[in-house]
Chains A and B, each alone.
Chain A
């Protein structure tokens, strides 16, 4: 199965909003409401930011939001802060298996 498609990079200035896309197929993103997003700072362990397309775990700021339309899911970070600079990975259930996106490096300018 192929990895989900994410842009390699995204950027925004502090206070701005940025949206990262994650494109799959009807066999993964489009077929299930099972998209999750992970944040990974350099040298650190990935952290769950969004699950079930748009739900936030306890402790994740509400500046992070998720959505999905067809085969494309999106992560929006509003009110960008310096600490949001990290790699972001989407993931989707794909029929008794899971597939990750290639990752997007978010830079806060």
Chain B
């Protein structure tokens, strides 16, 4: 069974840094892109970017380029989403999800993590 296990609840102050994780199991982890999706309170889903764990290739949504950083450690089947300096507007639920299909022909998110809630408040 494909599973994505995300790290737990985070409460941080503005200006602090943060790194959250997503660990995959039940499939060949390095062989699938992993996407990160933001959902702000009461709002819709937003595509942040993707990372390919095998070689750490990344592709960022223009809206998030330069705001966050994606990384991976394929030896432990884990990808990370990182901020260097949080602001209150980073308060949201963050999901990782496995990307299936092929670029150019059809991609979709077929398995999701449980989400990591992040609250940034002074």
Contact = CB atoms under 8 A, between A and B. Distances in A.
Contact of A34 (B45, B46, B50, B106): B106
A32 B112 CA distance: 23
A12 interface: no
Interface string B63-106: 00000000000000000000000000000000101001101111
Closest 10 CB pairs of A and B: A51-B108, A36-B108, A103-B44, A34-B106, A52-B106, A100-B45, A98-B47, A45-B112, A102-B44, A89-B45
A93 B106 contact: yes
A32 B104 contact: yes
A97 B37 CA distance: 12
B104 A97 contact: no
Interface in A44-67: 45-48, 51-53, 57
Interface of A: 1, 3, 32-34, 36, 38, 40, 45-48, 51-53, 57, 87, 89, 91, 93, 96-103
Counting contact residues on chain B (CB < 8 A from A), the size range is 20 to 34
A48 B47 contact: no
Contacts of A53: 106
Contacts of B53: none
Interface in B45-65: 45-47, 50, 59, 61-62
A32 B102 CA distance: 12
B115 A52 contact: no
A46 B95 contact: yes
B112 A91 contact: no
A46 B112 contact: yes
